[in-house]
């Protein structure tokens, strides 16, 4: 069983690892069986915090929710406990998705490695999208925003949370690049920023930043 410190080291390895699709999938699958317990023992609270917050913006428990980068289903579990009945998940790692499927909380699960393509997801279908930890070095880039906007219907909400430090340390995000892409889409009338929040997700080094957008 991975200790919280060992889990942290594995996450660092993921962030510093390969950009190749198959190698990244393999790295995530290597931690699939221990991820949930390690997250619990480390006191990782981002899934609970963000799921509860989403429930304030989308109170309808029959709403269609997409858990983007769902991994083993940590956020999906929280949404399910809050009473959401129609949760879909998307992730690049097959073994992580198998763990998520075994929880029997998702309506549908999609295995896809996002690199800017149009996904096999319905347009204007989801009432909300949640992405926890999808942005990290070698992780998602701003090109996912347009696809998120396509799949979430007007009036719907997108909650995107990741480590605040990555806005400074990640070359794809720093110097205002990531937030600049968000603002450009707002200027284009695609979405509007509702709120930006910072919170600590269980450990001091896990200071998170959360962006909440509404689709226009």
Per-residue pLDDT tens over the stretch 18-71:
456 566 677 676 777 877 887 888 788 999 999 999 999 999 999 999 999 999
Is residue 14 scored above 70 in pLDDT? no
38 found inside a domain: no
32 found inside a domain: no
Query: What token pair was written down for 8?
Result: 């942290």
Domain region containing 191:
45-215
88 found inside a domain: yes
Q: Do strands 152-163 and 126-132 pair parallel, antiparallel, or not at all (unpaired)? A: parallel
134 found inside a domain: yes
| 13, 88, 95, 121, 190 from 25: Cα distances, Å | 13, 19, 9, 21, 31
Average of per-residue pLDDT across 190-197: 97
Q: What is the mean pLDDT of the chain?
A: 89
Q: Measured between alpha carbons, how far is 207 from 191 in angstroms, rounded to an integer? A: 25
Domains in the chain, number: 1
3-state secondary structure of 17: coil
Please give the model's pTM, rounded to 2 decimal places: 0.90
Percent of the chain with pLDDT over 90: 72
CATH number at residue 164: 3.40.50.150
pLDDT (0 to 100) of residue 40: 83
pLDDT (0 to 100) of residue 1: 44
- Radius of gyration for the chain, computed over Cα atoms and rounded to the nearest angstrom: 16
């Amino acid at each position: 069983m991975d200790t919280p410190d060992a889990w942290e080291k594995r996450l660092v390895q993921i962030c510093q690892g390969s950009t190749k699709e198959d190698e990244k999938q393999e790295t995530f699958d290597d931690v699939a069986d221990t991820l949930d317990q390690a997250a619990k023992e480390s006191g990782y609270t981002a899934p609970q915090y963000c799921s509860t917050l989403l429930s304030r913006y989308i109170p309808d428990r029959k709403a269609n929710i997409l858990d983007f980068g769902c991994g083993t289903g940590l956020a999906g579990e929280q949404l399910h406990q809050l009473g959401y009945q129609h949760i879909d998940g998307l992730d690049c790692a097959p073994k992580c998705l198998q763990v998520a499927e075994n929880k029997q909380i998702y309506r549908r699960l999609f295995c896809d490695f996002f690199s800017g393509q149009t996904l096999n997801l319905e347009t204007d279908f989801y009432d909300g999208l949640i992405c926890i930890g999808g942005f990290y070095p070698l992780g998602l880039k701003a090109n996912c925003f347009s696809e998120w906007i396509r799949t979430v219907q007007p009036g719907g909400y997108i909650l995107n949370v990741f480590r605040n430090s990555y806005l400074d340390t990640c070359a794809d995000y720093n110097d205002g690049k990531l937030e600049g892409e968000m603002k450009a889409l707002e200027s284009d009338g695609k979405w509007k920023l509702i709120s930006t929040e910072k919170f600590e997700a269980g450990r001091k080094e896990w200071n998170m930043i959360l962006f909440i957008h509404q689709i226009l």
